[in-house]
């Protein structure tokens, strides 16, 4: 039964290998990609149900006892994130055939796609710091392939920046793991946590913790390490942007959540206080970026940064409502960012431009597209009764409990500006006379809209049916706040 934990890694991996053989035939590739993504989604759903019902699944690979081998820990948090990842994968696998990728699909688009999912799932599940690094590299390698696929001039320039910054942070990751290994003598997260607890996190360990935060903050694009993100995320095809925006930064913030709720939790006055300020600055600078541009893709890409700030805020306050708010917001944001990236992909496809100043009156041609965008803006900004509202409410409640009033005000103002930045797309792009853009030809977008509509339906369900999901999120938050449970379940003492 413990082999359940490996399935979300192994299924996309097998899918990627099988799809390499079928790269010449686009039709078979598409059918197989859809099939594998549905199988993977079903498995992830079953695993999530199993974990929430019976407690976490620990897999000791190769039958080696816990601190000596690599452990995979499928706990509640990993399970719901894997499930969300698979929901996004399925939506993207159904969107990709209509996204105008024919030539790229022949050049191993789907294998890269599934290798990316392998890396993301692996990073969520692993219980070993060096193994986390390896899975980071798996997903980064796949993302290098995806970002440059097609070989446009802009893509080449942006992929170079993306590659350099990620190589640098990966190198720093290895160095930090080496420091930590030299001090505590292990890379198993549970055992690191146990040993850090024994020495009560003396100075050097806090330093290593902050270095590790620096690494993950670069991957997650937090202030002041976000400058590489916006431009490089908008150059590939919308499907690829959606995968990046939904998954890559979220793996970084997940790693911060895991490491700073499990290992470095004894000097919260130093580390977690810093997080709250970085969270506030990320919100401010991210939303300024989103307001500064009239490129619709860039608006969405900048909106990633305040969302990461919100999630970090919950980790910073480190109480039950803060952490459960973070988890709720993380899941909500993964889904809604995918939907938004896919939506602006459709808009720039039908309008023939990404520049907001050249658009107008699209609602006369594409009413369903316009209302879906409006709905997603409401979900993203956190209007009740949608899912963004519940996450933010919990986060701000957590910040209030810690007495951080300033950050609450920043958070509320940021939400307002986020709403404005998305509604700006709606007002300038969709309102106006029918003839603003001349008589445009109506393009068929049904195949593109269906996956987005499904994602948005799920996002609405997450908000309206919060009563259903909240108890499990709350139990996961309680579990994260008590590192002893994780350590005992892995080391079996």
Partner 1 sequence: MYKTNDLILRTTASLIAFILLGFAVYLLLAGHNSPGGGFVGGLMTSGAILLMNMAYGLEVVRKVLPINFVNLIPIGLAVAIGTSVGSFLFQQPFLSQTYGYFKFPILGEIELATAMLFDLGVYLTVVGVMMTIILSIANDTE
Interface residues with partner 1 (CB under 8 A) are 2-3, 6, 10, 13-14, 17-18, 20-21, 59-63
Q: Which is nearer to partner 1, 36 or 328 (CB)?
A: 36
User: Closest by alpha carbon to 5, among 77, 56, 53, 65?
Assistant: 56
Smallest gap from Cβ 424 to partner 1, in A, equals 45
Q: Which is nearer to partner 1, 13 or 437 (CB)?
A: 13
Residue 93 tokens read as: 């696998």
Smallest gap from Cβ 13 to partner 1, in A, equals 6
Smallest gap from Cβ 9 to partner 1, in A, equals 9
Q: Name 361's Cβ contacts closer than 8 Å, sequence gap at least 6.
A: 430, 431, 432, 433, 434, 435, 436, 437
Give the number of other CB atoms < 10 A from CB of residue 171: 11
Smallest gap from Cβ 97 to partner 1, in A, equals 22
Smallest gap from Cβ 489 to partner 1, in A, equals 16
What is the distance between the alpha carbons of residues 296 and 277, in angstroms, rounded to a whole number? 29
Contact at 8 Å (CB) between 357 and 294?
A: yes
Contact at 8 Å (CB) between 126 and 72?
A: yes
Smallest gap from Cβ 2 to partner 1, in A, equals 6
Alpha carbon separation from 242 to 16, 38, 62, 93, 483 (Å, rounded) = 19, 18, 35, 11, 33
Smallest gap from Cβ 10 to partner 1, in A, equals 7
Q: Which is nearer to partner 1, 62 or 403 (CB)?
A: 62
Give the number of other CB atoms < 10 A from CB of residue 216: 25
Q: Which is nearer to partner 1, 14 or 163 (CB)?
A: 14
Q: Which is nearer to partner 1, 190 or 369 (CB)?
A: 190
Which residues are paired to 57 by β-bridges?
74
What is the distance between the alpha carbons of residues 324 and 299, in angstroms, rounded to a whole number? 28
Smallest gap from Cβ 3 to partner 1, in A, equals 6
Smallest gap from Cβ 143 to partner 1, in A, equals 18
Q: Which is nearer to partner 1, 78 or 363 (CB)?
A: 78
What is the distance between the alpha carbons of residues 203 and 196, in angstroms, rounded to a whole number? 11
DSSP state for residue 442 in the 8-state scheme = P
Smallest gap from Cβ 15 to partner 1, in A, equals 11
Which residues are paired to 74 by β-bridges?
57
3-state SS, residue 134: helix
User: Closest by alpha carbon to 176, among 138, 140, 125, 210?
Assistant: 210
Q: Which is nearer to partner 1, 115 or 223 (CB)?
A: 115
Q: Which is nearer to partner 1, 149 or 356 (CB)?
A: 149
Q: Which is nearer to partner 1, 118 or 169 (CB)?
A: 118
Q: Which is nearer to partner 1, 1 or 467 (CB)?
A: 1
What is the distance between the alpha carbons of residues 239 and 116, in angstroms, rounded to a whole number? 13
Could you identify the residue written with the tokens 């330093």? Answer: 207
Element (H, E) at 236: none
224 cis-preceded (ω within 30 degrees of 0) = yes
What is the distance between the alpha carbons of residues 343 and 453, in angstroms, rounded to a whole number? 10
């Amino acid at each position: 039964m413990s082999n359940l934990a490996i399935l979300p890694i192994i299924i996309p991996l097998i899918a990627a290998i099988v799809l390499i053989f079928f790269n010449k035939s686009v039709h078979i590739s598409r059918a197989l990609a859809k099939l594998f993504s549905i199988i993977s989604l079903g498995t992830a759903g079953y695993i999530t149900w199993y974990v929430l019902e019976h407690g976490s699944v620990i897999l000791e690979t190769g039958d080696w006892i816990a601190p000596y081998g690599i452990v995979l820990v499928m706990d509640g948090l990993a399970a719901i994130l894997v499930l969300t990842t698979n929901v996004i994968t399925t939506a993207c696998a159904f969107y990709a055939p209509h996204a105008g990728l024919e030539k790229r699909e022949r050049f191993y688009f789907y294998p890269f796609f599934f290798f990316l999912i392998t890396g993301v799932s692996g990073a969520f599940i692993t219980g070993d710091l060096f193994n986390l690094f390896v899975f980071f590299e798996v997903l980064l390698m796949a993302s290098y392939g995806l970002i440059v696929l097609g070989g446009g001039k802009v893509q080449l320039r942006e992929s170079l920046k993306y590659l350099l910054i990620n190589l640098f942070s990966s190198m720093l990751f290895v160095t930090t793991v080496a420091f930590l290994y030299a001090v505590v003598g292990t890379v198993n997260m549970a055992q690191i946590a146990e040993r850090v607890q024994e020495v009560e996190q003396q100075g050097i360990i806090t330093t290593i913790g902050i270095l590790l935060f620096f690494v993950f903050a670069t991957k997650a694009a937090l202030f002041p390490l976000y400058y590489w993100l916006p431009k490089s995320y908008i150059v590939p095809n919308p499907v690829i942007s959606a995968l990046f925006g939904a998954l890559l930064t979220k793996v970084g913030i997940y790693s911060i959540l895991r490491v700073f709720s499990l290992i470095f939790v004894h000097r919260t006055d130093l580390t977690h206080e810093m997080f709250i300020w970085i969270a506030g600055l990320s919100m401010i600078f991210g939303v300024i970026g989103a307001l500064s541009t009239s490129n619709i893709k860039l608006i969405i890409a900048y909106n990633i940064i305040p969302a990461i700030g919100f999630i970090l805020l919950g980790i910073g306050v480190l109480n039950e409502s803060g952490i459960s708010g973070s988890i709720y917001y993380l899941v909500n944001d993964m889904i809604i960012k995918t939907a938004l990236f896919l939506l602006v992909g459709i808009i720039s496809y039908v309008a023939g431009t990404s520049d907001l100043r050249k658009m107008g009156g699209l609602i006369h041609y594409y009413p369903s597209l316009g209302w879906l965008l409006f709905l997603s803006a409401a979900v993203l900004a956190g209007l009740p009764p949608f899912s963004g509202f519940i996450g933010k409410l919990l986060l701000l409640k957590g910040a209030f409990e810690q007495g951080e009033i300033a950050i609450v005000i920043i958070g509320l103002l940021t939400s307002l500006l986020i709403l404005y930045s998305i509604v700006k797309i709606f007002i300038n792009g969709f309102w106006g006379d029918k003839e603003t853009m001349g008589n445009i030809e109506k393009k068929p977008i049904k195949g593109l809209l269906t996956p987005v509509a499904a994602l948005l339906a799920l996002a609405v369900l997450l908000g309206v049916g919060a009563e259903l999901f909240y108890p499990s999120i709350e139990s996961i938050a309680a579990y994260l706040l008590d590192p002893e449970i994780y350590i005992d379940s892995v080391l079996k003492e």
